[in-house]
Structure 1
Amino acid sequence: MHILIATAGSHGDVAPYTGLGARLRQAGHRVVMATHARSAETVRRSGLGFRPLPLDRYATSGTGSQQGDGSGKGGSGAGLSKVEQIKLARELAPEMADAVAEACASGAEVVLLSSSLAPLGLVATEGLGLPSLGVFLQPLAPTREFPPVIFDMPSMGPFTNRAAARCAESLLARAFAPGVRHLQRRLSVPQAALDRRRATWPVQHGFSPAVVPRPADWRPGMEVAGYWWPSEDPDWTPEPRLADFLQSGPPPVYVGFGSMQPSDPERLGRLVARALKLAGVRGVVQASWAGLSVDGDEVLTVGEVPHAWLFPRMSAVVHHAGAGTTAAGLRAGVPAVPVPMMLDQPFWAARLTALRVSPGKVPFRRLSAENLAEAVRKAVHDPRYRHRARQVSSLIGAEDGAARVLTAVEHLAER
């Protein structure tokens, strides 16, 4: 069976699907991933076919950036506001819609859609008569049990949580509306047919039910599968300087902010260096898109290193609380200090605290060397966090999220 996986976003929005795709390929299916051109090497290295989508302008325009410099004060020009992001998405939606439709029409028999492309992919698959399945990394469907994941707000009770989620849905629908209407006209998809498909569309969620249990008020067809782990390169080995650093002292603390781009990475680097020194710990700092670089005898700055290899060797992990990095930390069984910046990150940071694997979040806008150092000290030295982290890791390790999707795909194809 020819399966197309379509996704968009940062590296963290692509990597889990490489592992999912590899699992489907191992089951005998042909798997092609359609996403950003900059992810081609990552996808092909996983043994999957690759089809580029014209998404890099959206990805690099600031929509994945956080305004701020790590000083607790806002930066300028480092990102776009939510209104600007919606405006840009509306401008690009017709072009993206055509590319998604063409990818679906290139021989796919089943289409798997991430949340970022689902509004367009649903129209395309309805118009082309293709079975499709949502494969989401976040719990986006409205529920009374927690507030919408893209809004940084506390739970306000069942009614308000669900109402706020409807508001979030409306904002997302507005962003994609030009592309949806464009595809409806192009593929002759009536609104009634699209509404019917949306009402019963199956969605598998790529996170653990131990982390976010399936809400009781979700409709049938919305399921929590378990995590999909990024495909691993069997030939990867650490650089000697990293291996030597890890062997030269006690387990260090990891610090990294993934695809976030602070406006002043040098200032953020100095803040991180001071926090690690105040906490009295060694550190491994990942440069990533943030461009961090921290010097010192007790700190090592590294480039790309697989989190599946690195995190189990850490005493704690400090990160932006993106869905993928959060998952990697939980899998490793190490305490976390989340520093959320935007979108779904505060939601995952709150989950880490609720799971008792973290002493609490340190919001990026209020980040200082002192409050980061205090959180790191608690995470490293209070044994309750490590004990609980190992318990959660054990629960996650017993799950097989990719197998759940494989079963769902094969059932879908049999209809």
Structure 2
Amino acid sequence: MRILIVGVGTRGDVAPYTGLGARLREAGHEVAVAAHEPYRHLVTEAGLDYLPLPGDPLSLLSISAFRHYGEQLVEGLAGLAGQRADLVLTGVAGTPACHVAEAMGVPSMGVHLQPIDPTGDFPPVMSVVHRSLGRWGNRRAARLAFEVPAAGPLVAGLSTRIRARLGLPPMPARALYLRRETMRWPVFHGFSPLVVPRPADWRTGLEVTGYWWPFRPPGWRRDPRLRDFLASGPKPVFVGFGSLAGTRAERYTELAVGALRAAGLRGVLQTGVRGQLSDDVLAVGDVPHDWLFPQVAAVAHHCGAGTTGIGLRTGVPAVAVPVKHDQPFWASRLTALGVAPAALPFRRLTSARLAAALTTVVTDPAYRRRAQSLAAGMAAEDGAAPVVAAVDRLSGAAR
């Protein structure tokens, strides 16, 4: 079976699909991943076929480029209809690719990194409102996100525009949602049920499988400078702000260095610069987190879904510094699980606040004990297996 995985977004939206794709390839399927150009190497290094999507999602970190990116995304997704595929798998940001599958005449499934379906357990994950609205309010608000086109220029009318571009009959957002629910459109969620238990009020077809870990190329070698730094003193802490780091690298680096100095800690930074900043601070580029995190005393990060998962997998206590989108949700889970103190929203972050939080998680052993206990439970999970099994069943039925 030829499988097309649509990974719209930044690095954290693509990397988990390299691991999932590699497992599907091992099961005997052909796998292609559609992603933006900056993440081509993630796909090809995993031995998967790469299909380009136009546009750079990092441009959305500035305020100006929403409409242009939306236009590029419509064209890029619609262009995938000309590819060969027997099944389309799509993440949250690439959900309009289900229309591409319809145009191709093939089935589709969701492979979501965030739990966006309506539930009373928590408010809409991608909303600007992060406090609970009560069980009824939480469900209603999440359903409205499906039924009412968003006000922003990027999302508003995206399904309508793609359907028109593909020559499919128009269908309002509410009708699309009702069709999705009536057909029990299958969605697999790539995070641990120990981190987010499957909501009891979810319908049939919505499954929580466990994490899909990014593929690490077998030829990867650690940087000797990083190896030597890690061996040269007490365990450092990690500070990284994900894709945001590249937008104001010097400012974020200055903030992190100030926090480390105030806390008296060594640090490995992933803040958009590189090099030995002092005897106690090393700034690095792209390093596999599953290799790095077990060697640090704590991780302070932006709470992207993937970084959150790898931090939990490696049993390291955290400092949550959420920025936007689903990040406040993952930050709240870290706090609820007892592996992090109260979150520090990025807009209110200072060196002093970051220093205090890092000191807390490094000196209080309870955070590490809870992180290690959770990691032990997650080690028994195989998040890719249910997806592979579902694809195999579909492949067998098609023969």
* Equivalent of 2:363 in 381, 388, 402: 381
1:37 is aligned to 37
Higher mean C-alpha deviation, range 306-315 or range 234-243: 234-243
Superposed CA offset, 1:274-295 (max 9, x none): 21122121111113xx447772
SS class of match (1:14): helix
Partners of 1:242 and 1:407 lie apart in 2 by 39
Q: Kindly state the Cα deviation for residue 264 of structure 1 after the two structures are TM-superposed.
A: 4.1
- AA at the equivalent of 1:342: K
Q: TM-score, normalised by structure 1?
A: 0.88
Pairing 1:273–2:257 present = yes
Q: Kindly state the Cα deviation for residue 270 of structure 1 after the two structures are TM-superposed.
A: 2.1
Partners of 1:343 and 1:322 lie apart in 2 by 9
Instruction: Give matches, 1:50-69, under 5 Å.
Output: 50-56=50-56, 59-61=57-59, 63=60, 65=61
SS class of match (1:111): strand
- AA at the equivalent of 2:159: V
Q: Kindly state the Cα deviation for residue 236 of structure 1 after the two structures are TM-superposed.
A: 1.4
For the structure 1 residues 110 and 317, does the alpha-carbon distance in structure 2 shift closer, same or farther, using more than 3 Å as the test?
same
- AA at the equivalent of 2:171: Q
- AA at the equivalent of 2:5: I
Q: Kindly state the Cα deviation for residue 350 of structure 1 after the two structures are TM-superposed.
A: 0.5
Q: Over the residues paired in the alignment, what is the CA RMSD in angstroms?
A: 2.2
For the structure 1 residues 298 and 33, does the alpha-carbon distance in structure 2 shift closer, same or farther, using more than 3 Å as the test?
same
2:102 is aligned to 126
Pairing 1:168–2:145 present = yes
Specify every segment of 5 or more residues in structure 2 that has no aligned partner in the other structure, as ranges.
none
1:109 is aligned to 86
CA contact (8 A) 1:270 1:294 kept: no
CA contact (8 A) 1:315 1:334 kept: yes
Superposed CA offset, 1:235-262 (max 9, x none): 1121111111111111110011110147
Instruction: Give matches, 1:198-217, under 5 Å.
Output: 198-199=180-181, 200-217=184-201
Q: Kindly state the Cα deviation for residue 196 of structure 1 after the two structures are TM-superposed.
A: 5.9
Higher mean C-alpha deviation, range 107-116 or range 190-199: 190-199
SS class of match (1:191): coil
CA contact (8 A) 1:252 1:283 kept: yes
* Equivalent of 1:394 in 351, 361, 376: 376
**Higher RCO, 1 vs 2 (CA within 8 Å, ≥6 residues apart):** 1
Higher mean C-alpha deviation, range 97-106 or range 29-38: 97-106
CA contact (8 A) 1:126 1:194 kept: no
Q: Kindly state the Cα deviation for residue 309 of structure 1 after the two structures are TM-superposed.
A: 0.4
- AA at the equivalent of 1:159: W
Partners of 1:248 and 1:195 lie apart in 2 by 56
2:229 is aligned to 245
Partners of 1:344 and 1:220 lie apart in 2 by 24
Partners of 1:38 and 1:238 lie apart in 2 by 22
Partners of 1:152 and 1:247 lie apart in 2 by 43
For the structure 1 residues 130 and 247, does the alpha-carbon distance in structure 2 shift closer, same or farther, using more than 3 Å as the test?
same
For the structure 1 residues 98 and 271, does the alpha-carbon distance in structure 2 shift closer, same or farther, using more than 3 Å as the test?
closer
Q: TM-score, normalised by structure 2?
A: 0.91
Instruction: Give matches, 1:168-317, under 5 Å.
Output: 168-169=145-146, 170-172=148-150, 175-176=154-155, 178-185=157-164, 186-189=166-169, 191=171, 194=176, 197-199=179-181, 200-261=184-245, 264-287=248-271, 290-291=272-273, 295-317=277-299
Partners of 1:205 and 1:108 lie apart in 2 by 22
Partners of 1:94 and 1:375 lie apart in 2 by 42
Superposed CA offset, 1:98-153 (max 9, x none): 432332441100110111111x2122212322011100100011111101112342
Partners of 2:305 and 2:197 lie apart in 1 by 15
For the structure 1 residues 183 and 332, does the alpha-carbon distance in structure 2 shift closer, same or farther, using more than 3 Å as the test?
same
CA contact (8 A) 2:149 2:156 kept: no
Percent pairwise identity: 49
CA contact (8 A) 2:260 2:267 kept: yes
SS class of match (1:135): strand
* Equivalent of 1:371 in 350, 353, 364: 353
* Equivalent of 1:360 in 328, 338, 342: 342
Partners of 1:347 and 1:293 lie apart in 2 by 33
* Equivalent of 1:403 in 366, 385, 389: 385
Partners of 2:161 and 2:289 lie apart in 1 by 40
For the structure 1 residues 361 and 194, does the alpha-carbon distance in structure 2 shift closer, same or farther, using more than 3 Å as the test?
closer
Aligned length: 389
1:73 is aligned to none
For the structure 1 residues 274 and 180, does the alpha-carbon distance in structure 2 shift closer, same or farther, using more than 3 Å as the test?
closer
CA contact (8 A) 2:7 2:94 kept: yes
Specify every segment of 5 or more residues in structure 1 that has no aligned partner in the other structure, as ranges.
66-78
Higher mean C-alpha deviation, range 17-26 or range 359-368: 359-368
